Structure 1
């Protein structure tokens, strides 16, 4: 018997069900995602089999920032005169060249990596040795230049990012020997980002304004202490108007005098449906009227997550089309572009990217939920968005999580003769059901039994108010991501509030 029988989930004696319409073939496994309460597994969703099919083919990762790239590279000599000796020691890679007239040198390459596209900056080559070596970036399989332009006078030296900006980024570094005796030691390679433009600022969300209404100055002080220059606030609507309107207008005015911009935030997965869209548009009209009384209210942000609806799993493209329809309709009501909050993987999903392109004229900025705590991973997540062809005109903010997030658990169930998970296609298009006891497998109702469970620690997703760790990540990301003109700054969830 499996040690993780269904009785070990928070069922209160009842089975759990998740819609799975349109699934014709029986999968070999099912993955159920959930959290734990009092030690009991509480399922929240089932990953639809084959969901990865919508993702684009994997591409090389970008070389990391703030790391020595040299250990990631392979190196080999070239030249028909065989006049190059190559060795490595604690100081780095040593290149010794004998006299000769034919091109010779060393090629540095790294499978699975590429130079970051779109960044403004340089590849810095550090080391010491003789002058006269040449540096160049070449595509794999391309011959090294016989006489690289700009012969290297001394290390350190740099190759500007303009050299690879309009390429696929997959490039080898070629170090070419001079015609005479020469030795050079390359100790490190680093990506050095330029700081493009002004500081992009930091944004944060406030979901309940009521604690701040009586003392707007306290919110100003706290925002300044955290370096926040824009706030996304949720406004409560009742009886066709914004609650506490007069106090909120005063609060916005106080914040505006402190150069802190205020934006209204709305969002619900149901907005990606016809009924939810109608409700969202009704609220938008009320918010638009409120903006007339509070001209300091800058704009409107919408966090619509169609993928949270069970129906999304059966037809992702339809979910994103509904999302796009709502975004366009909201922009029309406001008479201006809106800001959208999106999952980081949207741009890697064919249907998601198509929806994004379709609303280009309706959005003024984008906030990407890059909810990870490792800055290197955040940089990898951010780059496809910062390289998006609309990013120069539509700023892309990168959002981090600082609030309390429970650990997540992924349970993999596999086909079995007896099991506690059932794929039921008998009604309403199909469903995955977790039962309170095991049953036998059948052709019409195949069953699955737990194979294994993987814990996804929340510390990978949220900084959990670890202020020093968050501060270090902020400094690095503001430094590296500012190398892209389209970077719209960081947005940090749960940054302000009592006890923060």
Structure 2
């Protein structure tokens, strides 16, 4: 609904006294009470703080959050309906801060020389090296002092089981080493093996040293023999070791599928090579509602090599007021497992909480990490020794407080790596796969196969103060609200933003719903890569059935 084109006023009101039928957005005050921004044609409303907007045509209101820091570029994504724009997601795009970007992970199965740099070393200056179009040529004269080349690249080395494969020709025995930041500071390196060039083409596999700090890798060292020699390095590839087998899994949200049509579900799972099902299990008065039915289904599934886990999920579970009830659900599953014979036990409890879906007025972003970790701790205590798994978004790979909490309390995570581009899928998976390898946790990579709503993404860019703009950002009593306009308007108290572009989001970059055959073809390739990481627990397919 749009406010009139004549004089409009922005009000911040107690929720119970805010008028309905006008553009509005919820907020929460410092005292925890619910507030509401509204736009009306009235200059004042009882009990509200009011601000004159001028002759504004307001499309919608969106609360950024009291603790949000507005950036020069803001992305708003949502659904255009009924002549308005319902914002479902905001992204405050960070600007470059002058700090170097975090290195990417060293790519797999590709010639690293294409992106590496070479530098010769040695006081005798007996080395000539040339790196061109992905091929390295080294000529070394004889000498008594150490000499060779350093190969650097813009990466860290992932924590998978892998080897460097060097394809080469030439003459002489060259030593290959690797250095991390600490080693480079000491001008020392760890041995990886020898490249023995005997004229013809050859291939050498080089094991990464166990003592190498892969996250702080600095360079490889290729040391010349004292007698001199020449080497043509045609390619250098990080090759994953043979993968460990890991089951595919999927979620079954319809509880009647296992309660009423269990054999049909298991037949389907077997055809699809699904090794684990996450099912919704009804609870009643703090216990499993139908333990005999669950026990029978778990046994039948186990006879067919299919594990069964219970899944729970609601963003409100993260809130302090819901924590006791959430923990009680975990205790109910733990009690069932404790009483069941081994063949009837659930493999785990999975919690798909997704607290970031709560609006800012319910859970301020500044509290999210602490409340989530507190919920993890409560669930860990309630579940006892029963395995706990948590569903997390891929972008939590940079949230250290959350990763530390998961390392303390979780047995496994399922990472919502909802992309369709294979390179993006791998790039977003690696931080969690590395985390799992370092922390000893199991990591499942989840892909989306279900339908997604058609949405629009708008990009707003900060304009000069006082400029007529498409979005005005106001701060009232510590609350930040964006007023989206149908016609540009200037306001002396606003931080103005201009609409730069708008593009449709049809879900094709996020879900395989329209091309499940492509996902079927991609799965073996992903499993071959992911399976080289210790702790990889398989690929989970959302909305596969």
Give me the TM-score of the superposition, normalised by structure 1.
0.81
The one of 218, 226, 235 aligned to 1:179 = 226
* Mapped pair 1:352 → 2:394: no
Aligned-partner Cα distance in 1 for 2:456–2:111: 35
Displacement of 1:310 in angstroms is: 2.1
Q: Is the 8 A contact 1:367 1:398 kept in 2?
A: yes
Mapped to 2, the partners of 1:44 and 1:95 lie a distance apart of 56
CA distance in 2, matches of 1:50, 1:144: 37
Shift of 1:44: 1.2
Return the offset for 1:235: 3.0
Following superposition, the deviation at residue 264 of structure 1 comes to: 0.9
Task: Quickly say closer, same or farther: Cα 1:252–1:38, change in 2 above 3 A.
Answer: farther
The 1-side partners of 2:513 and 2:362 are apart by 30
Distance 2:309 2:191 in 1: 52
1:8 corresponds to: none
Instruction: Write the mapping of 1:79-98 to structure 2, written as runs, cut at 5 A.
Output: 79-87=122-130, 92-98=135-141
Structure 2: how far apart are the matches of 1:436 and 1:351?
41
Could you give the per-residue CA deviations for residues 469-490 of structure 1, whole angstroms, max 9, x where no partner exists?
A: 3234322332222332222222
SS of the equivalent of 1:298 reads coil
**Does 2:95 match 1:47?**
no
Counterparts in 2 of 1:433 and 1:24: CA distance versus 1, 3 Å? same
Deviation, 1:203, is 1.6
SS state at 2:369 partner: helix
Q: In the TM superposition, what is the alpha-carbon distance from 1:173 to its structure 2 partner? A: 2.2
Distance 1:276 1:32 in 2: 30
Query: Comparing 39-48 with 379-388, which one deviates more in the overlay?
Result: 39-48
Q: How far is the alpha carbon of 1:290 from its aligned partner?
A: 5.9
Q: Larger RCO: Structure 1 or Structure 2 (Cα < 8 Å, ≥ 6 residues apart)?
A: 1
Q: Please name the residue that 1:130 is paired with.
A: 171
Q: Give 1:257 deviation, angstroms.
A: 1.4
Residue in 2 that maps onto 1:203: 249
Partner of 1:300: 349
Q: Confirm whether residue 335 of structure 1 aligns to residue 384 of structure 2.
A: yes
Instruction: Name which of 317, 326, 333 aligns with 1:271.
Output: 317
- Residue of 157, 169, 173 corresponding to 1:115: 157
**Do the aligned partners of residues 324 and 105 (structure 1) sit closer, same or farther apart at CA in structure 2, a change above 3 Å counting?**
closer
Q: Which residue of 2 aligns with 1:9?
A: none
CA distance in 1, matches of 2:68, 2:356: 21
Structure whose residues are more often strand by fraction: 2
Give the 5 Å matches for 1:284-299. Answer: 284=330, 287=333, 295-299=344-348
Distance of 2:262 and 2:68 partners within structure 1: 57
Who wins on radius of gyration, i.e. which is larger? 2
Q: Could you list the runs of 5+ residues in structure 1 that have no partner in the other structure?
A: 1-11
Change (3 A) 1:309 1:488: same
Checking the alignment, whether the CA contact within 8 Å between 2:111 and 2:134 is kept in structure 1 is: no
Following superposition of structure 1 onto structure 2, how do residues 446-485 of structure 1 map, counting pairs within 5 Å? 446-453=495-502, 458-464=507-513, 466-485=515-534
Counterpart mapping for 1:243-282 below 5 A: 248-281=294-327
Say whether 1:368 aligns with 2:409. no
Q: 2:539 aligns with which of 462, 485, 490?
A: 490
Query: What is the CA–CA distance in structure 1 between the aligned matches of 2:68 and 2:305, rounded to whole Å?
Result: 56
Q: Residue 325 of structure 1: SS of its match in structure 2?
A: helix
Q: 1:91 to 1:281 in 2, by over 3 A?
A: closer
1:69 partnered with 2:112:
yes
State the Cα RMSD in Å.
3.9
